[in-house]
Amino acid sequence: MKKANRFTALLVCIAMVTVMFAACSGNTSKGEQAQEPEVPETTVIRLAVFEHGHVFNAIAEQQGYYEEEGISVETVPVVTDEEVFRGIENGTIDIASNSGTNLPLQRISEGQDLTIFGGYLLTGCMPIFTKVDTPWTSVEDLIGKTMACEPNLYAITGPLLDMGHDPINEVTWYQPEDQTDRIKAVKEGKADYGLVGTQLNYVINSDPEIKVCTYASDILPNYSCCRVEAKTEWVNENPNTVKALLRCWIRAMSYYDQHHDETVAMVAELAGKSEAEIRAYMDNPHLDLNIGPMKDSVKRAWDYLDRLGLLSSTAESIDIEDHINVELYKSALDECQAKYGSENSKFYEEMQGQFAKYNTETPEEAEG
């Protein structure tokens, strides 16, 4: 009987040791489950897309990245930003990526519960222009003049604020709804200067009556042009879907990094425009297509809009960090680097470095 008990005890010890080593090596059923690919909570993502399209969406679709991740993206054509945010609120749009940073931040300040979790354009190719005979020395030339754009373009008004100016009142803001009317306003003398979006570079550079003075990114580097946002509830309920989408777009950005000319040709075909029109901005070094969330730039933008008085009065009760999720992007970036890093190692190293620099606790740390 005693021998039997000793034998039983020995078997129990062996079993415990076996379980312990299996757990350490990840060979338990629980360990195996943790290593399985995370299944997207939803397989169809509705993305708001303007006429000028979405480069990374086009690449991911063409290269089969979505299919590999088990998701598909349904594009929802939109004309105005109002449509975008209304669609997010009523559930007909899941994700927006081309509505700037100022607009989602202003919506958040008004109570729309959005979460920013990535980016599309870090800096757009947005020219400040004037008549060919009008002088330009710096952004302070706008003081006392009429500017054809919105004052919530903090890439301009923020630096003026830092210089000690009151840009809301020291500049006259002419704000036609159609951006082509800004060009017309400058040519007709209704405005001294103007600013238009990236897609109008070809028009600006082809007009002999006007000249480009500078670009918004020259005035405020890394200003955060377009963020990727969705309803907070949707992000929280679909973290694996979000990461799957980000992995596709990170891979698409890597592809773009290595296949610029092919991407230009693809965008031209999809947009129904000439390559010259597309190259007017895609070949311009001021255009920075970038998936990173850039939390510090977003927080800086929130601070500028707040100091400019362009946020809702309820903004003072909002911690903007509660509306920025960088963890999902970091997880997606790490996973992409582990699996695809050998395809473009320099790209992934740069993206990791950028994440470490611009997703710190305070903007001051990033500037240092």
Query: pLDDT averaged over consecutive 10-residue blocks of the chain (368 residues)?
Result: 39 34 33 59 96 92 96 96 97 96 97 97 96 97 97 97 98 94 97 95 96 97 96 98 98 97 93 92 96 97 97 95 97 97 97 93 45
Instruction: Judge whether 31 and 23 are in contact, CB under 8 Å.
Output: yes
Fold classification of 44-122+225-367 (topology level): D-Maltodextrin-Binding Protein; domain 2 (3.40.190)
Instruction: Please give the order of strands across the beta sheet that includes 127-131.
Output: 172-174, 146-148, 193-195, 127-131, 210-215
Q: How far apart are CA 326 and CA 294, in angstroms?
A: 8
What token pair was written down for 24?
């350490």
Specify the pLDDT at position 96: 97
Ranges of each domain in the chain? 44-122+225-367, 127-219
Q: What are the b/e assignments for 207-229, b being 16+ CB within 10 Å?
A: eeebbebbbbbebbebbbbbbbb
Q: Which candidate, 353, 352, 358, 359, places its Cα nearest to that of 332?
A: 352
Q: d(Cα 176, Cα 115) in Å, to the nearest integer? A: 29
Report the predicted TM-score, pTM, of the whole model to 2 decimal places.
0.86
Write down the pLDDT at residue 361: 57
| Architecture of the domain spanning 127-219 | 3-Layer(aba) Sandwich (3.40)
pLDDT of residue 53: 84
CA angle (158, 162, 163) in 5-degree steps: 115
